[in-house]
Chains A and B, each alone.
Chain A
Amino acid sequence: MRRAEGSSITLREIVQALGCSVVSCAAQLDRTVTGAYVGDLLSDVVARSGPGMLWITCQVHSTIVAVAVLKELAAILIVHGAVPDAETIAKAEAEGVVMLTTTLSAFETAGAVYQLLHQQHTSR
Chain B
Amino acid sequence: MTLAEVQKITNAVVVVGSDKLDLVVTTAFSADLMSDVLAFARPGCLLITGITNAQSVRTAYALDIAAILVCRGKMLQPDAVDIARELHIPVLATPFIMFETCGRLFQQGMVGCIREVLPRQAASPPVGMTFSETFQVQGRNFSAAGTVSNTIKKILRQQGIAEEIVRRVAVVAFEAEVNIICYAHEGSIECRITPTAIILQAIDHGPGIADIQLAMQEGYSTADDTIRSMGFGAGMGLANMKKFSDEFDLSSEVGRGTYVKSVIRFSEECAGQRAAV
Once the chains bind, are B32 and A39 in contact (CB under 8 Å)?
Answer: yes
Contact check, A58 vs B119: say whether CB atoms are below 8 A apart: no
Whether A44 pairs with B72 at a CB distance below 8 angstroms is: yes
A112–B106 alpha-carbon span in the complex (Å):
8
Those of A71-124 within 8 Å (CB) of chain B: 80-85, 102-108, 110-115, 117-118, 120, 122, 124
B100 to chain A: closest CB distance in Å?
8
| Contact flag A81-B276 (CB < 8 Å), given A35-B99, A106-B31, A113-B103 | no
Give every chain B residue within 8 A of A83 (Cβ-Cβ).
Answer: 274, 277
CB contacts (< 8 Å) of B103 on chain A: these are 110-111, 113-115, 117-118
Interface pair B40/A103, CB less than 8 Å apart: no
Q: How far is the CA of A35 from the CA of B33 in the complex (A)?
A: 22
| Complex: chain B residue closest to A88, CB-CB | B273
With most chain B CB atoms within 10 A of its CB, the pick from A35, A38, A39, A60 is A38
Q: Given A81-B118, A107-B30, verify A59-B269 contact (CB < 8 Å).
A: yes
Shortest B59–chain A CB gap in Å is 14
CB neighbours (8 Å) of A124 from chain B are 109
Further pairs besides A81-B119, A82-B271, A115-B107: 4, Cβ < 8 Å: A37-B98, A59-B269, A107-B30, A110-B30
Instruction: Tell me the A residues contacting B by CB distance below 8 Å.
Output: 35-41, 44, 48, 56, 58-61, 80-85, 102-108, 110-115, 117-118, 120, 122, 124
B residues near A (Cβ < 8 Å) are 28-33, 36, 40, 48, 50-51, 72, 97-100, 102-107, 109-119, 121-122, 269-271, 273-274, 276-277
**Can you list 15 A-B pairs, Cβ within 8 angstroms, ordered by A?**
A37-B98, A39-B32, A39-B97, A44-B50, A59-B270, A80-B117, A81-B119, A81-B122, A105-B113, A107-B28, A107-B48, A108-B111, A111-B103, A111-B106, A124-B109
